[in-house]
């Protein structure tokens, strides 16, 4: 066997050196990140779910990084304003958007056109999910969700559910339930859960879909009864409440996720570092308890898990939107 030509050996050596150099540069980038403040851009006004997560998680990773995490609220257009803003920033990991279900899962099917696309973003961390609960007015003659479904089937058009608005995840959940079970349940949209939940308490609607914190006080006072949760498995927030999946629709799983995204092109080592640090933060026991107290369940998944969740939820929403009669605007 003849030895490789000198030029081939030199080329191989050069490639190895370049690879080692890039590895070293990447490692250095990850080790030095962040060297200044990181901004979490929230697409909504202060006080909502994404804002709450941004502040809780931001505080914890700020302690780890030794650098401030600044929460910047840029509401408007169901996340469109914030998405446009983030895309004007460098792809360096220092500006991240606290993304929820609307930006990439619902908006593509409820807007005729968007000024951004999924490919424009790097998906960094699947940070958390917020299970939604179905809560029933106690006057409804049903002990659980299957009994409620049976009641609706025997009285088509008599019962109703309240959501936080047309195109909201609450509406999409119930329209999926209606389609899967073949039930006739009237949709009554409200301007947020601040209206829809009290409407269920006063029996203006029979059922409401909402996050746990909006319901907990009324449940404690026996003014509402939790009958199902929208995640496939039961939630640690209310472990005695059965999931829709175990109550008649096997595999049902639809709940808001919250994640961190940034402009496409953020170096992979920076993405991996942020994802790992956020995962560590949300699974830290004190942070975990703070999240649960506001109805949020930690996930701490990386880019692959985020991409898989996004693809699965988009496929569901794409099917539900026309079933619900929602027209893109």
What is the mean pLDDT for each group of 10 consecutive residues in the chain (329 residues)?
Answer: 56 57 50 94 91 95 97 94 97 97 93 95 96 96 95 94 92 94 95 93 96 94 97 94 94 95 98 98 94 92 95 93 87
- The gap from C-alpha 125 to its chain's centroid, in whole angstroms, comes to 11
Distance (Å, rounded) from C-alpha 232 to C-alpha 243? 6
Distance (Å, rounded) from C-alpha 159 to C-alpha 302? 41
Residue-level pLDDT at 5 = 59
Distance (Å, rounded) from C-alpha 121 to C-alpha 222? 45
Average pLDDT over all residues of the chain: 91
Spatial CA neighbour of 120 closest among 100, 137, 97, 102: 97
Return the biggest CA–CA distance within the chain: 89
**Sign of torsion, CA 151 322 214 233?**
positive
Residue-level pLDDT at 119 = 96
Residue-level pLDDT at 47 = 85
- The gap from C-alpha 44 to its chain's centroid, in whole angstroms, comes to 14
Per-residue pLDDT reduced to its tens digit, 233-256: 999 999 999 999 999 899 999 999
Residue-level pLDDT at 54 = 96
Distance (Å, rounded) from C-alpha 121 to C-alpha 115? 12
Q: Which two tokens stand for residue 327?
A: 């027209």
Give 36-130+256-323's CATH code, choosing from 3.40.960.10, 1.10.10.60, 1.20.120.80, 3.40.190.150.
Answer: 3.40.190.150
First CA to last CA distance, the chain: 70
CATH code for the domain defined by 132-229: 3.40.190.10
Spatial CA neighbour of 312 closest among 96, 101, 159, 4: 101
Residue-level pLDDT at 36 = 97
Per-residue pLDDT reduced to its tens digit, 254-297: 999 999 999 999 999 999 999 999 999 999 999 999 999 999 99
Question: Which residues in the chain are classed under CATH 3.40.190.150?
Answer: 36-130+256-323
Q: Which two tokens stand for residue 229?
A: 């949760």
Q: Which two tokens stand for residue 179?
A: 């389609």
Question: Which residues in the chain are classed under CATH 3.40.190.10?
Answer: 132-229
Tell me the CA distances in angstroms from 88 to 45, 102, 116, 267, 323, one per residue in order: 20, 20, 11, 17, 36
């Amino acid at each position: 066997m003849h030895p490789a030509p000198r030029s081939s050996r030199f080329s191989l050596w050069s490639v190895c050196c370049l690879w080692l150099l890039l590895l070293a540069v990447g490692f250095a980038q990850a080790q030095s990140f962040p060297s200044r403040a990181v901004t979490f851009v929230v697409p909504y006004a202060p006080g909502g779910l994404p804002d709450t997560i941004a502040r809780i998680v931001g505080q914890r990773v700020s302690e780890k990084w030794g650098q401030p995490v600044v929460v910047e609220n840029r509401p408007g257009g169901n996340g469109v304003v914030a998405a446009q803003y983030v895309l004007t920033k460098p792809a360096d990991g220092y500006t991240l958007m606290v993304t929820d279900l609307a930006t990439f899962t619902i908006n593509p099917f409820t807007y005729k056109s968007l000024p951004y696309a999924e490919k424009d973003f790097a998906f960094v961390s699947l940070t958390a999910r917020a299970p939604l609960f179905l809560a029933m007015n106690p006057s409804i003659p049903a002990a659980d969700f299957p009994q409620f479904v049976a009641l609706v089937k025997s009285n088509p058009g008599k019962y109703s559910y309240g959501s936080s608005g047309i195109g909201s995840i609450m509406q999409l959940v119930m329209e999926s339930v209606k389609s899967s079970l073949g039930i006739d349940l009237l949709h009554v949209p409200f301007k947020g859960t601040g209206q829809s939940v009290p409407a269920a308490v006063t029996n203006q609607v029979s059922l409401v879909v909402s996050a746990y914190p909006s319901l907990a006080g009324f449940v404690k006072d026996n003014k509402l009864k939790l009958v199902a949760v929208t995640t496939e498995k039961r939630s640690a927030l209310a472990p005695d409440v059965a999931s829709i999946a175990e109550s008649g629709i096997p595999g049902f799983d639809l709940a808001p996720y919250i994640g961190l995204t940034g402009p496409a092109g953020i170096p992979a080592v920076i993405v991996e570092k942020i994802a790992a640090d956020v995962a560590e933060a949300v699974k830290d026991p004190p942070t975990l308890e703070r999240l649960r107290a506001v109805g949020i369940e930690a996930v701490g998944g990386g880019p692959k898990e985020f991409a898989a969740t996004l693809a699965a939820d988009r496929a569901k929403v794409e099917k539900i939107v026309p079933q619900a009669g929602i027209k893109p605007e």
